[in-house]
Each structure stands twice: as C-alpha cells, then as structure tokens.
C-alpha cells in the first residue's frame, strides 16, 4: 500500500482495541504474508531454509522472495530449482551482495501486508508465522521477533552458540539470552507491518552491518512498538572458526559505532562493556610490562587488569558451560574472548569517515516506496 494514496472512508481501518500497547490497527483475519530471504553463498542450507519457511501451519497465503547476491557456489542454481518446483517461490537479483540491499529488493516485489525476514541459513519452526501474526494483532506492534537460537554442529560452533546465548557473552539482549515478552529496542530478524516499512523507506542500504538495529531505532522514533516474544525462535548457525567469528564481531562493533554516532539516543551501556574491557586489558598489559622492564614494582600492579579479565572469562566459561562436552567447553573461553575483543576493537577503531559516508534522513523526510501491487514481477 502506498501511504500517500487516499483511502476511501469505507475502508478505513478499525481502531486498535483498548489495552494494546502499539498504535497500529488489527490486521484482517489470516492476512497474506511475504517471506523475504537475502542469500549469498548459501548452497549448504538454502533448500532446507526454504522448505521450513514454506512448511508453516499458517492458514493464510504465503509467498517467499529470495534476493540473490553474487554467490560463487551453486546457490543461484538451487534457488532456480526451488522456484521452478513451487510457484510460491520467486527470486530477485541483488548485484551488490549487501544484506540491506537484498532485503529492500525483496520487499520491493513482495505483494503482502506482513513481511517476515529470514536468512538463508535460518530455520523457522512450523508455528513461526502464525504466532508472529497473532502477536502483531494482539500488541499493535510494527515489528515482532524473538530469540536467535544459536545451534552448533562442531565443538567450536557449540562454544560460540553457548557464548551467544549467555549474558557473559552478549550482555542482557533478550533476543540472545531470552526473557519475558515485552517492548524491546530490537529483535532478531523481525516480522513487520508492511505499511511501516513503506513509510520509513525500508532498510538504510548504507548500513552494511547493524541495519536491523538502525531500522528498529527509526521505527521506535516514529512512535511505533517493537515487541519481543520468547515464543518466536529461529535456529541460527554460528561462525565455524575463530577467524570468521572475529571478523563478524569486529564488523558488528564498527557499525554499531556508526549507529551511535548518527543516533545519539541509541547508546546503551552494554555496547560500551567490550570496548572498556579491551582498553583495560591492553592498558594494564602495557603499563605492567613497562613496570616490569623498568623495575618499578608499583606499575606492575596494572597486570591485575588482564589477569582479572582472564580469571573472569575462565570462571564465567566454567559456569556458563555447565553440561557441555569437555571438548566444546575447552573452546568456550576462546569464543568469549574473541567476541569481546573483536567487538571492542571494531567499536574503538571505527573511523569517523565511515559514519560520514552514511546519510541519515529524518523520519518525516523519508519518501514513500511504491505500491507492492505496482512493483515489477520477480523471477
């Protein structure tokens, strides 16, 4: 729906029922739903992700739009086969390979008033869409989401999964660690009211990372509700190596700093914990080393900072890793330290020029997107 098009009086939406926290009116019963999926080099998981996305117990109509980045494996061939086998599946090109561009391309050709985001390696449970649509109606929210249920298949992936679902690893983010249902700053992936995405101009394509957080911040600033529910769980496959995990979390830190530079009100103390820990460990190591070399015993006391961090990581890993296989537990301190150090390094070294390259428009100045009905067909 184009938000600039006048609506006849007879089709005006029903006011939201009393007691709903959000401001949006209820959807019609079992509204049709568009699932959008950005993919790049997802040959290992794509077929299963699509099968699970379309095997919902939802009684309404479903479509799935896959945005194809420039993969170097056989992702495109798999997607073409899936589209040929099921008329509910369509594809759209994403030449840049960037996630926010892929999402906007898929949303641009999606036809329906509810938009479900899922990744090419995400596994939706059978009731995901039904529960999400019910929550949109019950809460009046613009976006609902739940838990990023990290699940590994190797010892290192299991360690990363445990770190990503622990407060020691990621702080008190409910979409990682769980908790009760309620309003949230952001959620994992998201199930959106299409009219809000149209009104806000979709994802900011200049945010190569942290585009979910930036969009949810704009949704909240425009007066709408983001709702977290532990009833929504999506399986997530962690990075398989220290190198891949370090790159992922360095990029998270770099781009979260960009978000905070543009949206000052978005700063959260937990975003500063990893940079503070990294500075303490590095500073304590340097000062302690200088003291040891110079024979100044007072300065060597600074070694208490890196030693304290190491003790906290080892002790915390022992507590958080209860029940893990010994081979996976042995890797948990490595995963935790990699996540903390990489995120902190990315945040601290994120150049101002990176933020200067990103343009942010006030919500009121964002132009509407075209009607979904008038968007070109996707193949």
pLDDT confidence of residue 373: 36
State the Cα angle at 56 between 123 and 379, rounded to 5°: 80
Read out DSSP for 167-188? HHHHTT-HHHH----EE-S--E
Contact 225, 139 (CB under 8 A): yes
pLDDT confidence of residue 367: 42
So where are the chain's domains?
25-238, 265-356
Q: How far apart are CA 157 and CA 159, in angstroms?
A: 5
- pLDDT tens digits, one per residue of 86-128: 999 999 999 999 999 999 999 999 999 999 999 988 889 999 9
Cβ-count burial of 79 within 10 angstroms (0-12 exposed, 13-18 middle, 19+ buried)? buried
Short-list 56, 15, 67, 51, CA closest to 33: 56
pLDDT confidence of residue 359: 66
pLDDT confidence of residue 231: 92
Residues in the chain where the model's pLDDT stays below 50? 1-18, 364-379
pLDDT confidence of residue 175: 56
pLDDT confidence of residue 346: 93
pLDDT confidence of residue 271: 76
- Which distant-in-sequence residues (6+ apart) come within 8 Å of 277 by Cβ? 309, 340, 344
CATH class assigned to 25-238? alpha beta
């Amino acid at each position: 729906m184009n938000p600039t098009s006048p609506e006849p009086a007879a089709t005006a939406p029903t006011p939201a029922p009393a007691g709903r926290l959000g401001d949006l009116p209820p959807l019609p019963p079992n509204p049709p739903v568009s699932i959008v999926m950005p993919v790049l080099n997802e040959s290992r998981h794509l077929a299963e992700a699509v099968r699970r996305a379309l095997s919902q117990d939802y009684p309404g109509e479903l479509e799935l739009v896959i945005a194809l980045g420039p993969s170097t494996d056989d992702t495109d061939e798999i997607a073409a086969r899936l589209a040929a086998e099921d008329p509910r599946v369509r594809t759209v090109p994403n030449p840049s390979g960037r996630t926010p561009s892929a999402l906007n391309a898929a949303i641009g050709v999606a036809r329906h008033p509810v938009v479900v985001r899922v990744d090419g390696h995400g596994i939706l449970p059978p009731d995901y869409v039904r529960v999400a649509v019910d929550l949109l109606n019950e809460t009046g929210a613009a976006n609902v989401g739940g838990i990023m249920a990290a699940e590994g298949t190797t010892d290192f992936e299991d360690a990363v999964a445990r770190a990503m679902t622990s407060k020691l690893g990621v702080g008190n983010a409910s979409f990682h660690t769980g908790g009760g249902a309620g309003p949230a700053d952001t959620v994992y992936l998201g199930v959106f009211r299409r009219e809000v995405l149209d009104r806000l101009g979709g994802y900011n394509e200049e945010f190569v990372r942290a585009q979910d957080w930036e969009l949810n911040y704009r949704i909240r600033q425009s007066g709408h509700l983001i709702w977290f529910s532990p009833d929504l769980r999506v399986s997530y496959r962690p990075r398989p190596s220290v190198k891949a995990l370090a790159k992922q979390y360095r990029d998270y830190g770099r781009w979260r700093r960009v978000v905070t530079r543009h949206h000052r009100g978005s700063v959260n103390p937990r975003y500063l914990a990893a940079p503070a820990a990294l500075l303490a460990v590095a500073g304590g190591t340097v000062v302690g080393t200088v003291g040891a070399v110079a024979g100044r015993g007072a300065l060597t006391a600074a070694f208490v900072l890196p030693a304290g961090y190491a003790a906290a990581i080892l002790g915390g890993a022992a507590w958080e890793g209860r029940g893990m296989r010994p081979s996976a537990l042995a890797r948990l301190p490595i995963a935790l330290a990699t996540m903390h150090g990489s995120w902190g390094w990315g945040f601290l070294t994120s150049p101002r020029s990176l933020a200067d390259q990103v343009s942010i428009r006030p919500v009121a100045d964002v132009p509407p997107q075209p009607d979904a009905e008038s968007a070109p067909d996707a193949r």
